[in-house]
């Protein structure tokens, strides 16, 4: 990073398991990534004591502008996005949590229309599903353990707030799981499975297994 390039300031909204992980990563790796922590907010501010420096604790979320964030990552509750999302987007990049799973088509065990879609993925990559994890669970009960674990790791987001993306790739002998906080264009926009031009923070979580086996990763 150039010495004169300003670091991007990141605000974390929510301090559950995922919020704590993101804060720690920012504290440990912010210089390398060109980022710095702007603020941390949690509904119960007592959880921040002892782990988040006092000057980074935001008492009232409505005062977030005073922290001058460039990026806001919400891992709290969908109602926060509903109440503050439009305001966040006017002043900063607003990011949503997405779990993307990429597998060989033969590794999926899918029901309903997804089972039909995966049959057409024998020659090229196909996005099978992109939306809330809750709706995906009954269609892919053998393939969503990692996504379900992410939902339980962020109980305030839950199965409706965490987004899941399934991708079938016939050229992939192993399978990969990516957990991303990805820039959202609006609070109602569906997350894109492939957003190379978007800002994204990726948890280094990759699981490799032999193609053709319907097994799932661990979060």
Spell out the per-residue pLDDT of the chain, length 219, in tens: 445 577 889 999 999 887 898 898 888 876 667 889 999 999 999 999 999 999 999 999 999 999 999 989 888 776 787 788 888 888 887 776 788 888 889 888 898 899 889 988 888 999 999 989 999 999 998 888 888 888 887 766 788 888 888 999 998 776 666 666 555 544 433 334 544 434 444 444 444 444 444 444 333
Q: How far is Cα 180 from Cα 206, in angstroms, rounded to an integer?
A: 12
CATH of the domain at 140: 3.30.360.10
Instruction: Give whole-number Cα distances, 109 to 1, 146, 214, 216, in Å.
Output: 44, 15, 6, 11
Q: What token pair was written down for 43? A: 């509904």
Q: How far is Cα 147 from Cα 133, in angstroms, rounded to an integer?
A: 7
Sort 55 into a burial class: Cβ within 10 Å, 0-12 / 13-18 / 19+: exposed
Q: How far is Cα 142 from Cα 6, in angstroms, rounded to an integer?
A: 45
pLDDT on residue 184: 53
Q: Examine the domain organization and report whether 41 and 118 are in the same domain.
A: no
Q: Taking Cα atoms as reference points, which of 27, 50, 26, 55 lies closest to residue 39?
A: 55
pLDDT on residue 176: 67
- 211 located within any domain: no
Q: Examine the domain organization and report whether 199 and 117 are in the same domain.
A: yes
Domain termination site, one of 38, 62, 91: 91
Kindly report the backbone phi and psi dihedral angles of residue 192, in degrees, each rounded to the nearest multiple of 5, phi listed first: -90, 140
* Rama region for 108: left / alpha / beta (φ>0; ψ in -120 to 50; rest): beta
Q: Examine the domain organization and report whether 116 and 199 are in the same domain.
A: yes
- 78 located within any domain: yes
Q: Examine the domain organization and report whether 113 and 170 are in the same domain.
A: yes
Domain termination site, one of 91, 121, 142: 91
pTM of the model: 0.58
Q: Examine the domain organization and report whether 152 and 173 are in the same domain.
A: yes
Q: Give 3-state DSSP helix, strand, coil % of the chain, rounded to 5.
A: 35, 25, 40
Q: Examine the domain organization and report whether 155 and 85 are in the same domain.
A: no
Q: Which domain holds residue 68?
A: 8-91
- 139 located within any domain: yes
Q: What token pair was written down for 52? A: 């988040």
Q: Examine the domain organization and report whether 65 and 151 are in the same domain.
A: no
Q: Examine the domain organization and report whether 104 and 56 are in the same domain.
A: no
Kindly report the backbone phi and psi dihedral angles of residue 24, in degrees, each rounded to the nearest multiple of 5, phi listed first: -65, -45
């Amino acid at each position: 990073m150039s010495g004169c390039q300003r670091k991007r300031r990141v605000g974390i909204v929510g301090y559950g398991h995922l919020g704590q992980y993101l804060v720690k990563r920012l504290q440990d790796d912010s210089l390398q990534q060109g980022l710095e922590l702007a603020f941390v907010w949690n509904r119960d501010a007592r959880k921040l004591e002892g782990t988040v420096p006092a000057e980074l604790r935001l008492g009232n979320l409505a005062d977030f502008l005073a922290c001058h964030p460039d990026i806001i990552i919400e891992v709290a509750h969908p109602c926060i996005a509903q109440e503050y999302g439009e305001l966040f987007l006017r002043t900063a990049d607003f990011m949503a949590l997405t779990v993307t799973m990429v597998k060989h088509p033969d590794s999926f065990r899918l029901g309903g229309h997804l089972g039909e879609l995966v049959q057409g993925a024998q020659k090229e990559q196909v996005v099978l599903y992109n939306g809330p994890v809750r709706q995906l669970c009954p269609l892919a009960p053998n393939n969503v353990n990692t996504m379900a674990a992410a939902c339980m790791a962020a109980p305030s987001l839950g199965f409706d707030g965490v987004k899941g993306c399934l991708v079938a790739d016939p050229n992939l002998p192993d399978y990969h799981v990516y957990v991303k906080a990805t820039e959202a264009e609006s609070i109602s926009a569906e997350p894109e499975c492939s957003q190379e031009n978007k800002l994204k923070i990726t948890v280094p979580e990759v699981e490799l297994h032999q193609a053709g086996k319907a097994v799932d990763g661990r979060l």
